[in-house]
Amino acid sequence: MSDIADLDISGAGSRRPQPADTDGDAAPLTYAENTWCPGCGNFGILNVWKTLIDELADNGVPRERIVVVAGIGCHAKIADYLNLNTFYSLHGRTVPVATGIKLGNPELTVIAHAGDGDCYGEGLEHMLFAAKRNIDISLMVHDNGVYALTTGQYTPTSPRGFRGKSTPGGSAEQPINPLELALAGGATFVARSYSRGAERLRQTMLDAVLHKGFSLVDILQVCATFNNLYSYYNERTFDMDDNDPSSRTDALNRIGEWTYGGDGRIALGTFYRSAADTFDGAFRDIDRSSFDREAAVRDLLARRV
Amino acid sequence: MYDSFSVLVGGKAGDGINEAGNLIARLMNRLGYRVYVEVDYPSLIRGGHNFSIVRCAREKVGCRTDRLDVVMALNDETVERHAHRLGGGGTLVIDTGSVKGVAPDEAAGPEAGEPDNDAPSGSTEVGSGSSGAAEQGAEPKADKPQADGERGDAGRDDGRIVMGVPIAAILKELQAPPVMRNTCLLGAFCRIAGISWEILEDTIRQHIPRSLEKNLEVARRGYEAARQRETLASLDLPALPVMNGNEAVGLGLIRAGCTAYVAYPMSPSTGLLHFMASVADDCRLKVVHPENEIAVILMALGMAYAGERAAVGTAGGGFCLMTEGVSLAGQAELPIVIMVAQRPGPSTGLPTYTTQADLHFVLNAGQGEFPRLVVAPGSAEEAYYWSAVAMGLAWRYQTPAFVLADKAVCEGSYSIDIDALPPLPEYDVPLWDGVSPYRRYARPDDPGAAGTAGAPDDVAAAGTAGESGDASTGAPADAAAAEPVDVPGDATAAGTAAAEGSTAPSAAVPPGVSPLAFPPLPGEIVKVDSYEHDELGVTTEDNTETVLMEEKRVRKWCALEEEIDRLEAVKVRGDADAPTALLCWGSNGSVCREVADELGLRMVQPLVLSPFPTRQFEEALDGVERLICVENNVTGQLVKLLRLHGFDVDDAIRRYDGRMFSLEELTTGVKEVLQ
């Protein structure tokens, strides 16, 4: 249990809605009862949020402009727990929903939380296209290498040989490296972090949210019940301090050092960041204040006489 | 049959047949005619056989006739497949450069190019040897044979002629690009139809502004190469805009406040994406074409959460991918308009043809029970009006609204007169008051909740679920034993609040509707959830809460049912007192109206298919002794829907070869049923 001793799992709240909880209250969490397992890596991510809200405010993002989108899976309960604007969406669909919200109102800061099965399996194409578009949203993937809410099956990042309930003889597939994929897609911010080590995770999430463009943080998040990798990660993870995040080549090399399995060392930190135009940029500055719909319709009709 | 004039232009894909048809339609429209253009083309880019039929009349028309007055052939296949449809006095115009199977009766105009050496002399017989079934594919259902008796039996002695125009030679001589073939045809058509050069020049100036001088030159040569055969008088009617259904859907959406359109291309809905993209700047639209239809609907729902009035469009295959988003919209109570343009299936089916086979798919798509609006326009005018209504009601009731169209409506072009439509209802969107703590799924009208004074009678008697369970002790709710809540279709729910003859929208906040607000809201949060949720939008599995939320959505559903009863949700035309009625939906509206007028029948067309307008439908059938349902599907989907609502039909006429009924086909079919 020493692995999880530093985790705050006090997310539980009262069960019944209490108006005071949300009426202008700046509490970071709602009354929703926390149902993550003891030792779950998701607590580490939720705890970062408790301070991230104020930090974002200090960086010009007031909390009412934050929108958190979640998929479906254990990670997604964060949508219920956070006392923020949230869209609790569908499995695999966090990215298109987050993209739509950002396009709908580019003044919002949209942060998508997803699981690895959710985002790299069911919704992989959306992630690649978000990277391709460089839409200004942040994607935090709670990567625990297992479908936990469905009680233990292999995911796209489970290592070959993973014995889950759908692969009792061991998975016959190679894991994908989601960071390589995101870079290939054109992501302008690619990082990896770990649900342990609050300060590192806080800094990476903050950097990702403040980055202009699509950012992916693959968070090694331990499922204490179905895939407890605390010891494995503790032995192999290290903080990068000598990489050049402006170099794609350097980024690809560092990302490739660990293949989501095996004995490679697991680099943590920001592999790549660059500046590029964002897709939502074209959707700003649409002035509808003087737009007369009836006149526009009449005009379009007149052009077709 | 209305007195009308029909011209068919046929050629290979890539010949610009649609464009030629549209130009002729615009020209006739300027003369005051009401036009309808049916386009028929296969799913390919080059080759194949394309044709476009333009029908013009004094009255509004929306179907083709088998009988043609002019056939303009850019290839032999057009002659083989369509020339036999020419009526007495008809004219077959051939491009002497590309049509070899038939020779002109007379030399082209004096300025024509090289002689047509390849054409076999004397082979000028029109309509011989062609297969009757070829033109429109398989004939309809065997027991409802269609009118075809007059085909091919008229000889050359009835005044039909073949006229040659050396289009290729003219273009070559003038060094004009192949696309100007259309302009040349248009010139020839005007001369044949007796339309003055001035009117033609005017039309070209407005609709073909690119390479104007060259186009005018080409048109002039086409004009001179042809000979006058008809005198189509200018009508004393104002020229109307000509628009296809896709464009009319877009126009209606824009009129009703659409601010975003998201779509992945798929025939026959692609035209709407093109239209919205082309007017995006003028109409302050956000238009996005994402990676697939799943992303399309999820993006649109994200936009709706942020306050954008978004619409999406697709055909059946793309809609398969959207269904999880439809259900999400139902659960999360997010407004969205979805145009589904039907094309024959199953699966890829016939991509560029028409059907009415997705009615039950659209009525039932998505897991769970939630209100949905389904409207089925049958013309460009109806597409405009009902798309606007769909947008208004989607937002007023925070639920998905469907515009169920088909290829015939989406890609058919019609004269459109929006001033002939009833005034568009302006639907208010209930918005948060900015004072009380914001709860995205607030239920101020819960039975037993404080402040239910405004709740209508039919929900006041709803289930006692609010008191039936004890979540704190985990005791089971006995909701199942409670008095069943009113659901749509109940006699008590339908029509109780509809004001007689009034189109005024209902109360400020309809039952079951939670006022909307969008982030950012300082001091408040907006939570939407695909799980069952409480009023704030936090996930719950509590049984009492579940019942309250199910019943909230059902209250919206009942209110929506009353709302559509304020509209003309069932259209009656023809002889409104006739004991025999033709029943149809969607694109069959036009042909059924014309057949009903001709045979003295009543015509009944439900425009809203969900919630089903039971009261209006009953009224429309008052005095009907015989009901004949006309559909473009094999199993009778409207008939099935009617049975669910306690109605039945006496006869059915169905066509399911991907083509619309022609006027003659349906007339004969109805006559046979009535024999």
Structural domain range at position A298: 2-302
Are residues A302 and B243 in contact, defined by beta-carbon separation less than 8 angstroms?
A: no
Least Cα separation, residue A291 to chain B (angstroms): 8
Overall average pLDDT of the B545-570 stretch? 97
Overall average pLDDT of the B612-624 stretch? 98
Q: Which residues contact B667 (CB under 8 A, 6 or more apart)?
A: B1, B147, B595, B598, B599
Q: Do A291 and B301 touch (CB under 8 A)?
A: no
Mean pLDDT score across all residues of chain B: 87
> In 3D, which of B286, B335, B353 has the Cα closest to residue B587?
B353
pLDDT at B626: 98
Highest CATH level, class, for B4-225 = alpha beta
Distances from the Cα of B544 to the Cα of B175, B228, B541, angstroms: 78, 79, 9
Least Cα separation, residue A149 to chain B (angstroms): 14
Mean pLDDT score across all residues of chain A: 92
CATH topology of domain B570-674: Rossmann fold (3.40.50)
The rounded distance, in Å, linking the Cα atoms of A230 and A234 is: 6
pLDDT at B1: 61
Overall average pLDDT of the B460-485 stretch? 44
Overall average pLDDT of the B181-208 stretch? 92
pLDDT at B535: 98
Residues of A in contact with B279 (CB under 8 A): 300
pLDDT over 50 at B144, yes or no:
no
What's the pLDDT tens digit per position in B43-100? 887 778 999 999 999 999 999 999 999 999 999 999 999 999 999 889 999 999 999 9
pLDDT over 90 at B260, yes or no:
yes
The rounded distance, in Å, linking the Cα atoms of B533 and B537 is: 5
pLDDT at B45: 76
Overall average pLDDT of the B176-197 stretch? 93
Overall average pLDDT of the B222-244 stretch? 92
If one compares B119 and B339, the residue with the highest pLDDT of the two is: B339
Q: Which residues pair with B57 in a beta bridge?
A: B4, B34
Q: What SS3 class is residue B556?
A: helix
Q: How many CB pairs under 8 A join A and B?
A: 191
Overall average pLDDT of the A118-136 stretch? 97
A301 residue type, one letter: L
The rounded distance, in Å, linking the Cα atoms of B372 and B382 is: 19
- Of B303-312, B457-466, B604-613, the one with minimum mean pLDDT is B457-466
Domain boundaries, chain B: 4-225, 242-420, 570-674
pLDDT at B486: 80
Percent of the residues in chain A that have a pLDDT greater than 90, as a whole number: 89
Distances from the Cα of B440 to the Cα of B151, B229, B332, B527, angstroms: 64, 68, 9, 6
If one compares A164 and B135, the residue with the highest pLDDT of the two is: A164
Q: What is the CATH number of the domain that holds A224?
A: 3.40.50.970
CATH number for the domain running over B242-420? 3.40.50.970
HEC secondary structure over chain A = CHHHCCCCCCCCCCCCCCHHHHCCCCCCECCCCCCCCCCCCHHHHHHHHHHHHHHHHHCCCCHHHEEEEECCCHHHHHHHHECCEEEECCCCCHHHHHHHHHHHCCCCEEEEEEEHHHHHHHCHHHHHHHHHHCCCCEEEEEECCEECCCCCEECCCCCCCCCCCCCCCCCCCCCCCHHHHHHHHCCCEEEEEECCCHHHHHHHHHHHHHCCCCEEEEEECCECCCECCHHHHHHHEEECCCCCCCCHHHHHHHHCCCCCCCCCCEEEEEEEECCCCCHHHHHCCCCCCCCCHHHHHHHHHHCCC
Least Cα separation, residue A299 to chain B (angstroms): 10
The rounded distance, in Å, linking the Cα atoms of A189 and B437 is: 38
pLDDT over 50 at B476, yes or no:
no
If you search the block for the tokens 């259900």, which residue do you land on?
B327
Assess whether the region B242-420 and the region B570-674 belong to the same CATH fold: yes
Least Cα separation, residue A56 to chain B (angstroms): 15
If one compares B12 and A280, the residue with the highest pLDDT of the two is: A280
Count the domains in chain A: 1
- ipTM score of complex: 0.94
pLDDT at B505: 54
Which residue in the set B239, B290, B535 is minimally distant from A17, CB to CB? B535
Residues of B in contact with A89 (CB under 8 A): 298, 328, 530
pLDDT over 60 at B152, yes or no:
no
- Asked if B284 reaches chain A (Cβ–Cβ under 8 Å), the answer is yes
Q: Do B299 and A103 touch (CB under 8 A)?
A: yes
- Of A114-118, A173-177, B110-114, B221-225, the one with minimum mean pLDDT is B110-114
What's the pLDDT tens digit per position in B489-514? 765 444 444 444 455 555 689 999 99
Which tokens belong to B112?
A: 């024509």
Length in residues, chain B? 675
- Asked if A58 reaches chain B (Cβ–Cβ under 8 Å), the answer is no
